[in-house]
Structure 1
Amino acid sequence: MTARRLANSRPASKSRGKTRQKLLDAGLVLFAQKGVEGVTVSELEEAVGLKAGSGSFYRHFPDKGALLEALIEQEIEKAQTRRAREQGALDDPGQDVREALTLQFRLTLRGLRENTALINLLNRAADHFPALISRLRAAFVLDATETVARSYAGRIQRGDMVSADPAVLATLVQSTLFGYFSAEQAFGRPANAEAAETALIDTLVKILIR
């Protein structure tokens, strides 16, 4: 390929990459609202500025299932990045345990709120794409709990946290934070949301530290 052809191909490739990402973003929103089966290819095209019914979608994905799979891979990667930040705070021996736990809890709640659409997708797509959704659940629930448990085990060994099964403590924390988040989604954030969140976090810290 000549230098001119290479130069001309780069803008087109960059444009396709942007459109592909737009389809991933639109897919997350629409699939969460209607379920994968309830969204048409034309709707996805229209959502990203492509001509509805033109078939332009298929230049990027062979079908909606492939879009969902790519979307899940993207979200798993994001979850792993967020988890690394949480674990970094928990595993840092120079970080005060109270500060480390508080940071972990706030990051977890922030992650849940940022992933509201993804959580809705989990509920809607489970029946039609069980294998893909199982992978997503594993990344967001099982892997997250196991990672937190390993960090808690290190803190327990150093004498920073109560002497208890780290897996049980991790499950307690994750379940409590998810329950708090779920209540927000069901009933809305209360007027004193910041104070309520701080009180919850302070209480969890007191339960976990020696």
Structure 2
Amino acid sequence: MTMTTRERIVSESLRLFADRGYAATSVAEIEAAAGLSPGAGGLYRHFRSKEEVLASAIREHIERTRKQISDVLRHATAYQDRPLEIRLRMTCQAGLAKMREEQDLVRVLFRDLDQFPHLIAEMREGIVNPLYDGIATWLSKQPEYEGLDEDWPAIASILGGAVVNYWLANESLYEPPTRIDETRFVEAWARLGLGLVTVDRAPATDTHAAS
């Protein structure tokens, strides 16, 4: 599908901000990357400022994330014919794919957004927290976990945080922690999720009998 001029400006600006930094990227460079005449003011026909372009990029990512989460939760009990471990692997892989999809935005977040606290707040409330809430809701809806008295938001923060940390290590250190490849990470992540069932379903130990 062909992008509009506005969409090209947003897309190219985010790529440039991620590669060069917000301050180091000029309006003329954004215009050139978007196919406009550099320095002719084409960007200002769609946005009031470079900051507004950045804000629009963040809000477009927020809107896309909301739709993705809504789609996932609408089909939260899909693939129930597959074992829980397979569903967990698929969830972990989807989380890593989401991190890759948002890699430019994440780079801008860590490099430049400290000067825009209001945009950090929008990302936190529009992308980060909804993703963790989505993981918690997805976990709670899996039939194998039915009846378990778990703090799903806390568990989601652990499992989701592991995905974020693994991707960030690859991104910033250029290799995964202790060189664990993605296949091993996904399998271990799924086993941790699977362990919730075996731990909570395990019979309690009779301490009197043991003594």
Taking structure 1 as the reference length, the TM-score comes to 0.79
1:63 corresponds to 2:58: no
> Residue 197 of structure 1: CA displacement?
1.7
The 8 Å contact of residues 150 and 166 in structure 1, kept in 2 or not, is answered as yes
1:187 corresponds to 2:173: yes
**Residues 17-32 of structure 1 mapped to structure 2, 5 A cutoff:** 18-32=4-18
Partner of 2:157: 171
1:198 corresponds to 2:183: yes
**Deviations 1:36-87 (CA, angstroms, capped at 9, x unpaired):** 3332211111112222111111111111122112111111122223323443
Partner of 2:66: 80
Q: Which amino acid aligns with 2:37?
A: K
User: 2-side partners of 1:50 and 1:18: how far apart?
Assistant: 12
Change (3 A) 1:127 1:134: same
Percent identity over the alignment? 24
1:151 corresponds to 2:138: yes
Partner of 2:104: 117
1:99 corresponds to 2:89: no
Structure 2 gaps, min length 5: 198-211
Change (3 A) 1:95 1:139: farther
User: 1-side partners of 2:98 and 2:184: how far apart?
Assistant: 19
Partner of 1:6: none
1:49 corresponds to 2:35: yes
User: 2-side partners of 1:107 and 1:113: how far apart?
Assistant: 10
The 8 Å contact of residues 90 and 101 in structure 1, kept in 2 or not, is answered as no
User: 1-side partners of 2:35 and 2:100: how far apart?
Assistant: 27
